[in-house]
């Protein structure tokens, strides 16, 4: 099934398993959301569990915080990535700090779903990658699936968490289909996964970038270069074990992300890998990222966003050291 349907199925399963799970967001009821992720859920569970809200992201998250205080497990939908900023104060000043403020006695089981990233030809505020803001904020967990199977399981695991989880959904991957195992999760929520074995260079990314990295790895293989591909999956906390194991094997790491490279998730990983695996590196850790500019008009997105060619150019530079 496509990722959109997998998320829908995951939300349905979570709501069936726990009557305290509530959904709230703009147009998520009869319409099923802009991307139809909640399609059919209000008809099945009623408008007291799947609630349409005003166009007020700060109000959505503030309401979710109150619901969590009363023992519910609210799941908020932010319609597009660039619309999350009105809720930024609620998320970073309140949601992220509430449990610590109460010395661990007040869990905050809130999930904030954010469709993010480019490749859909949309306008400003509809194709951004704001994950670094939230990964930087202590008290928040941040994850991003790259496959329908991960989406199905990770959304359920996020809802079960007693800590707030910012759930980044790569909107360009909503409709490509993939196999979904409805019986068992393939990996824990906060784990990095090796998706392609290789020996010469490690490629690491998350969300929609994983498909790009796999494309680059296939081209590299045709040219005689063995590339290993890792799916980060969890942006915060980061599971460094598989990353360091891979780097110690290949001696090289190329990071790729749609977000700008300056002060980014890739920057943090590059620094940490350099600190913890310095003597295994045969070349500097290289980053392939979106440019340090606001997201451009849709016609220019293919220039802005990393593609297989830019990744392969970095692979060549890494091998040249």
Which positions are annotated as active-site residues? 126
Neighbour count for residue 273 (Cβ, 10 Å): 22
**Integer angstrom CA distances of residue 27 from 57, 97, 118, 120:** 12, 29, 22, 20
φ, ψ dihedrals at 312, nearest 5°: -65, -35
Strands of the sheet containing 50-52, edge to edge, are 50-52, 21-25, 73-77, 111-116, 165-170, 141-143, 234-236
DSSP 122-154: --TTSS---HHHHHTSTT-EEE---SHHHHHHH
Nearest to 108, CA basis, from 90, 86, 126: 90
Neighbour count for residue 264 (Cβ, 10 Å): 22
Residues 301 and 209: beta-carbon distance below 8 Å: no
Neighbour count for residue 44 (Cβ, 10 Å): 11
The span from the CA of 104 to the CA of 74, in Å, is: 19
Nearest to 307, CA basis, from 198, 216, 229: 216
**Integer angstrom CA distances of residue 224 from 210, 218, 313:** 21, 10, 15
3 state SS of 269: helix
Q: With b meaning 16 or more CB within 10 Å and e meaning fewer, what string describes 143-154?
A: bbbbbbbbbbbb
């Amino acid at each position: 099934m496509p990722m959109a349907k997998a998320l829908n199925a995951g939300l349905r399963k979570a709501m069936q398993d726990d009557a305290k799970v509530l959904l709230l967001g703009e147009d998520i009821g009869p319409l099923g959301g802009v991307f139809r992720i909640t399609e059919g859920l209000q008809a099945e569970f009623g408008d007291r569990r799947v609630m349409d809200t005003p166009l007020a992201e700060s109000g959505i998250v503030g309401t979710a915080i109150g619901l969590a205080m009363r023992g519910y497990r609210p799941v908020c939908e932010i319609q597009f990535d660039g619309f999350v900023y009105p809720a930024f104060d609620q998320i970073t000043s309140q949601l992220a700090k509430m449990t610590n403020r109460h010395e661990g006695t007040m869990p905050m089981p809130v999930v904030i779903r954010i469709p993010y990233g480019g490749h859909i030809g949309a306008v400003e505020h509809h194709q951004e990658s704001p994950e670094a803001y939230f990964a930087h904020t202590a008290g928040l967990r941040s994850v991003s699936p790259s496959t329908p199977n991960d989406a199905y399981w990770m959304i359920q695991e996020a809802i079960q968490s007693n800590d707030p989880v910012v759930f980044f959904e790569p909107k360009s991957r909503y409709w490509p289909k993939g196999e979904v195992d409805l019986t068992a999760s393939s990996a824990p929520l906060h784990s990095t996964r090796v998706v392609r074995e290789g020996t010469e260079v490690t490629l690491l990314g998350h969300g929609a970038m994983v498909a790009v990295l796999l494309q680059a790895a296939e081209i590299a293989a045709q040219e005689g270069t063995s590339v290993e591909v890792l799916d980060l999956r969890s942006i915060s906390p980061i599971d460094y074990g598989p990353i360091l194991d891979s780097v110690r094997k290949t001696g090289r790491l190329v990071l790729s992300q749609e977000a700008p490279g300056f002060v980014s998730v890739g920057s943090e990983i590059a620094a940490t890998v350099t600190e913890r695996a310095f003597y295994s590196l045969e070349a500097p850790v290289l980053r392939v990222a979106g440019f340090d500019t606001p997201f451009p008009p849709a016609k220019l997105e293919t220039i802005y966003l990393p593609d297989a060619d830019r990744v392969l150019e970095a692979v060549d530079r890494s091998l040249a050291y």
